[in-house]
Amino acid sequence: LTWDAGATRSKEAIENLYARQRFVTCCKAFGLQAIDAVYIDIKNLEGLRKQCEEGSSWGFTGKQVIHPSQIETVQSAFLPSEDKIEWARSLMKEFIEHEKIGKGAFTFRGHMIDRPLLLQAMNVVKMLDRVNNSQS
């Protein structure tokens, strides 16, 4: 894409920003996994980590790798943190309790919670379950 557009490739991949964001949006609209493109500087693991964290924050669920040295960095960037896992499990528990008494929205740790945030929490737990099942 970069070559076809006549753009110059950069370490930050800013020239692919629109394409990456559009891709993740389209994947999510159709319920598909959004796997980010490769990071070509195989020796720059810090740059890879930054791009993975950026992609994860946009909704990407993984990243292609071109060298075994990239695997650990990519996996750690896309796995939910212990804090995120605890947040997701606690939110799901609270949601069930509030749903029992007929509340659709409630406050959790200072934030208003409704069904979309419950779905986000459920996705965190599902991802963790998939990872755990693939390792057993």
pLDDT band at 136 (very low <50, low <70, confident <90, very high): low
Rounded to whole angstroms, the Cα distance separating 33 from 132 reads 18
Residue 97, Cβ density class (10 Å: 0-12 exposed, 13-18 middle, ≥19 buried): exposed
pTM of the model: 0.74
Radius of gyration of the chain (CA): 18
State residue 1's pLDDT score.
62
Q: Which of 58, 57, 80, 94 is nearest to 127 (CA)?
A: 80
Using the predicted structure, report yes or no on whether residue 12 has a pLDDT greater than 90: no
Annotated catalytic residue: which of 4, 41, 83, 114?
A: 114
Rounded to whole angstroms, the Cα distance separating 129 from 1 reads 35
114 is an active site residue: yes
